[in-house]
Structure 1
Amino acid sequence: MTLTELSRRTGITMANLSVLKTNKARAVRFTTVAALCAALGVGPGDLFVLRAEASRSGVMAP
């Protein structure tokens, strides 16, 4: 699916989707996660991975 189509389905701007795609987001709203999950037919756990270096600092990494 293209970012354009995902933006259309979720109402999330192309700029925000680009920030998420490039792992430059510092935070993600729950409403954004919910919209992405609904559009993609996945659960939150399918969108995020806990990396070893992030788990030590207590921060989730996309």
Structure 2
Amino acid sequence: MPIIVKLDVVLAMRKMKSMELARRIGITEQNLSILKTGKAKAIRLSTLEAICKHLNCQPGDLLEYESED
């Protein structure tokens, strides 16, 4: 998939556990794990906004486009 999710990197930089972020933004740990591993087909903008708010980051810090060439 050409979209790389770097949520695990940002979480590590902020020294925050996935469980804590999931609790703060109101989603299950399982759903956050699906997003973190890049297996999610979509993400709600409200979820992305909440993640950015609690990690004090920009969407571009979490997502990266990689060409398939």
Please list every run of at least 4 consecutive aligned residues from structure 1 whose deviation after the TM superposition is greater than 6 angstroms.
none
Q: TM-score, normalised by structure 2?
A: 0.72
Task: Extract unaligned runs of 5+ from structure 2.
Answer: 1-15
Task: Extract unaligned runs of 5+ from structure 1.
Answer: 57-62
- Normalized per residue, which structure has more strand? 2
**RMSD between superposed Cα atoms in Å:** 1.2
CA distance in 1 between counterparts of 2:57 and 2:27 reads 17
Superposition deviation, residue 13 in structure 1: 1.2
| Structure with larger RCO (C-alpha < 8 A, sep 6+) | 2
- Of all paired residues, the percent bearing the same amino acid is 50
